Structure 1
Amino acid sequence: MPKATGEYALPVSAFFGVVKPSGPSSMAVINDLKNLVARSKIFVAEDQLEKSKGKKISKRGKNDVKIGQGGTLDPLADGVLVVGVGKATKKLNQFLECVKEYRTTCLLGCETDSYDSEGARVRTAPWKHITKEMVESTLEKFRGEIQQVPPIFSALKMDGRPLYEYARKGIPLPRPIEARKTTVHSLELVEWKDTHEYRWPSKSLSSEEKTALKTATGSNELEDAPEEEGIPPVFVLTMRVSSGTYVRSIVHDLAHALGSAGHVVTLSRTRQGRFALTETEEGDRRCLPWEVFEKAADEQAGEDGWRPWEREILANMETLDNA
């Protein structure tokens, strides 16, 4: 149940966790939340709420409530998204540097430009030789402190230009993408499925797009192998990793180490610092299902003056005083 509002000097600056759904971008989720929190007395003084009645909530208005997130998730990904409101936005860096946990599904036999199912097919490779035991034994190479090359389809910049621009426009990279040191605290195979619903993307790179990617990366390893009949298996990994780790790159590199190709078809962030989908450690914070906010616009305040979604935030938020 929500804490008594007397425990807080409203309005507050606070963190809370939401369960981002797969599909929308992190920014789209934040913009939807801003339309709610900017009209709530949890975060905005009541006299300000009176002045803003009937006014449109702007995305970057100087006088609007500040809201941000502590680590972007790709549109494909779902799971923990830490939200900061008010002065808490200045403390979101702690969630960029913290340990994170993920659950991801890899589909074998096909590599995509983005390393996930949102991208286009780059090449196909043999997969029938791979067994569950092979995957389990190969995982050891990816545990501990490793060197990881980020995917070219990422927002990292080189000489002021996002890496994905080089790939899309066929601009040669000024230099190879630098490997980054990262730590994989744990990495486990938790499921192996021969029967499943996943399929390779139908979209393939055109010859021009493939040439552009080859030009950008300087790679000639983009040719298809003869396709094997049947449906390749998928396997599910769980991992606990340091900040800056690319799950897509782990899956991509693991598939290469297995003598094949592979890409991510599902990705869930199950923990970000103390915010988690399942509360298993002391001090864990519950994340609010996105359904709580989807129906918020039609909700009315109860006798206590709070709407249902506001009660959920009051019960689960972390103010700067108790962070």
Structure 2
Amino acid sequence: MANIVEGVFAIHKPPGITSAQVIRDAQSHFTPSSLFAPWLQRESDIKTAESNNQRNKRRSWKSKQPLQVKIGHGGTLDPLATGVLILGVGSGTKALPQFLTCTKSYETVVLFGAATDTYDCEGKVVGRKAYGHVTRELVEEKLRAFRGEFMQRPPIFSAIRVQGKHLYEYAREGKEVPVEIQERKMNVEAMEMVEWLEGGSHGFKWPVEEAEGAVKNMAEKVLHLSDVKGEAAEVVGEVGESAKRKREPASSSSEVTDTPAESSPKRIKSSPAPENDAATAIKAEPAESSPKRIKSSPAPESDAPAIKAEPTETSCPAPAARIRMTVSSGFYVRSLAHDLGAAVGSLGLMAHLVRTRQGEFELGRNVLEYSDLKEGEGVWGKKVEGMLRDWQGGHEVSEGGRDRGGRRHERSAAKPAARAAVRRNSSSDDG
């Protein structure tokens, strides 16, 4: 059938919503559109031509659902994060696993002086530590250890499974993980600080809510606050009343939208946990020794807009650093913020995150703006069609994975490997 468009494109995810919500929003615009009417007609014709046996094999609840444009994503972004989100349409969903294993580029802001249970500014504060000694020169020196190959421990708020249970479930219940969370080998092609933000000169802030009880005890043991060099981290509960009165209110930019549990498991009480479509099982084995670090080239210049936060009267007194990186699949930017805080003898959390590039898609070059969806098909239609046809021109796209008779192809030997790649790499900050 002519004029059928399907394939892969990228959209600029805004802050405050989940990756699953972006898919639902795209479907709500794509399904009634004229651009995807031929695709929907083909799918409807194929279902009509199915035999009775084929219809019976399909689950009843699926057959009752209205037909929608098929869309999937190639690696999630936390609600806090913005940037490149890969979307596959129709048969393009079969190409999404390759984006879970490609390199990705990020720009993040690390705020020093405090740590949270989630390693970011949307969690609950579990510790505070002096930051007056943290300088640009010190941070640049310590960043060298995060280039090349090194070992990284995943955060407690991830979908990794330990003894059949997600790590975020242990955190949500305030329970200690029964085994040590094993470090993983990561590769960083480039890592550099692109902006130093003195305390009081920016708008990034520590969270206002403090962890209590079981959550605090879990954090002390699991988040390795005792590993911070220098003086022991000041754990919540030991902070004096005078210090509490000085805490700034949370920034409005940290607010997130509630989402269904199946797409984005909730964090402790009301804070949403990172969204993940798959989880990775880990074993309680001794951590590998750190591999030899390798030299990396400077991070490439990006056309993406710089991360900015305007200073206010209640600006955080602690310094922050904007860091640009190109990393391998499975890298946790939140863990980098936590580990960098420890490396400089303080504490650190991720205050902002933008994925500027994933595979061949890069902000400012070939990514659809999310706001274009609300402008109607007259605005997004030509852009999406052009992106999908460009993809079709450089990649082989099958007709929905079916042969000429409308029958779906049998699973190939390569698909289990692709699904395994999804499980291995879907639990990082980007997915």
TM-score, normalized by the shorter chain, greater than 0.5: yes
For 2:88, which of 84, 90, 93 is the aligned residue?
Answer: 84
1:23 counterpart = 2:109: no
Name whichever of 251-260 and 205-214 sits farther off. 205-214
Give RMSD over aligned pairs: 2.7
For the residues of structure 1 that align with 2:363 and 2:225, how far apart are their CA atoms?
41
1:316 counterpart = 2:387: yes
For the residues of structure 2 that align with 1:46 and 1:63, how far apart are their CA atoms?
11
Which letter maps to 2:385?
Answer: L
1:121 counterpart = 2:125: yes
Q: Using a 3 Å threshold, how does the CA distance of structure 1 residues 123 and 30 change in structure 2: closer, same or farther?
A: same
The gaps in structure 1 that reach 5 residues or longer are 1-7, 52-57, 280-285, 300-306
Which letter maps to 2:374?
Answer: E
Which letter maps to 1:292?
Answer: D
For 2:164, which of 160, 164, 168 is the aligned residue?
Answer: 160
1:289 counterpart = 2:369: yes
Deviation, structure 1 residue 14: 1.3
For 1:133, which of 134, 137, 155 is the aligned residue?
Answer: 137
What is the 5 A alignment of 1:124-273? 124-194=128-198, 195-214=201-220, 217=222, 221=226, 223-224=234-235, 231-273=317-359
Deviation, structure 1 residue 64: 2.8
Partner residue, 1:108 = 112
Deviation, structure 1 residue 61: 4.0
Note if contact 2:175-2:215 (Cα within 8 Å) is conserved in structure 1.
no
The gaps in structure 2 that reach 5 residues or longer are 45-61, 227-232, 247-315, 396-431
For 1:12, which of 2, 5, 11 is the aligned residue?
Answer: 5
Which letter maps to 2:162?
Answer: M
> What is the count of residue pairs matched by the alignment?
294
Which letter maps to 2:391?
Answer: T
Higher fraction of strand: 1
Deviation, structure 1 residue 134: 0.4
For the residues of structure 1 that align with 2:208 and 2:3, how far apart are their CA atoms?
52
Name whichever of 167-176 and 29-38 sits farther off. 167-176
Deviation, structure 1 residue 207: 2.4
Q: Using a 3 Å threshold, how does the CA distance of structure 1 residues 109 and 138 change in structure 2: closer, same or farther?
A: same
Q: Using a 3 Å threshold, how does the CA distance of structure 1 residues 168 and 212 change in structure 2: closer, same or farther?
A: farther
Q: Using a 3 Å threshold, how does the CA distance of structure 1 residues 88 and 62 change in structure 2: closer, same or farther?
A: farther
Secondary structure of 2:394's aligned partner: coil
Deviation, structure 1 residue 272: 0.2
Q: Using a 3 Å threshold, how does the CA distance of structure 1 residues 183 and 46 change in structure 2: closer, same or farther?
A: closer
Q: Structure 1 length as normaliser, TM-score? A: 0.83
Q: Structure 2 length as normaliser, TM-score? A: 0.63
Partner residue, 1:282 = none
For 2:103, which of 87, 99, 105 is the aligned residue?
Answer: 99
For the residues of structure 2 that align with 1:172 and 1:121, how far apart are their CA atoms?
17
For the residues of structure 1 that align with 2:175 and 2:8, how far apart are their CA atoms?
41
Deviation, structure 1 residue 137: 0.8
Q: Percent identity?
A: 40
For the residues of structure 1 that align with 2:211 and 2:196, how far apart are their CA atoms?
29
For the residues of structure 1 that align with 2:8 and 2:126, how far apart are their CA atoms?
40
Q: Using a 3 Å threshold, how does the CA distance of structure 1 residues 218 and 246 change in structure 2: closer, same or farther?
A: closer
Deviation, structure 1 residue 278: 3.6
Deviations 1:200-254 (A, max 9, x none): 1011102232134456x38573643876997001110000000000011111101
Deviations 1:100-157 (A, max 9, x none): 0000001110101111111111100110001100011111100001111110011222
For the residues of structure 1 that align with 2:110 and 2:225, how far apart are their CA atoms?
24
Q: Using a 3 Å threshold, how does the CA distance of structure 1 residues 258 and 206 change in structure 2: closer, same or farther?
A: same
Q: Using a 3 Å threshold, how does the CA distance of structure 1 residues 45 and 114 change in structure 2: closer, same or farther?
A: same
Secondary structure of 1:11's aligned partner: coil
Deviations 1:47-94 (A, max 9, x none): 739x8xxxxxx9x94843210111100000000001100011111011
Q: Using a 3 Å threshold, how does the CA distance of structure 1 residues 218 and 80 change in structure 2: closer, same or farther?
A: closer
For the residues of structure 2 that align with 1:155 and 1:47, how far apart are their CA atoms?
34
For the residues of structure 2 that align with 1:99 and 1:47, how far apart are their CA atoms?
33
Partner residue, 1:4 = none
For the residues of structure 2 that align with 1:164 and 1:261, how far apart are their CA atoms?
21
Deviation, structure 1 residue 37: 1.6
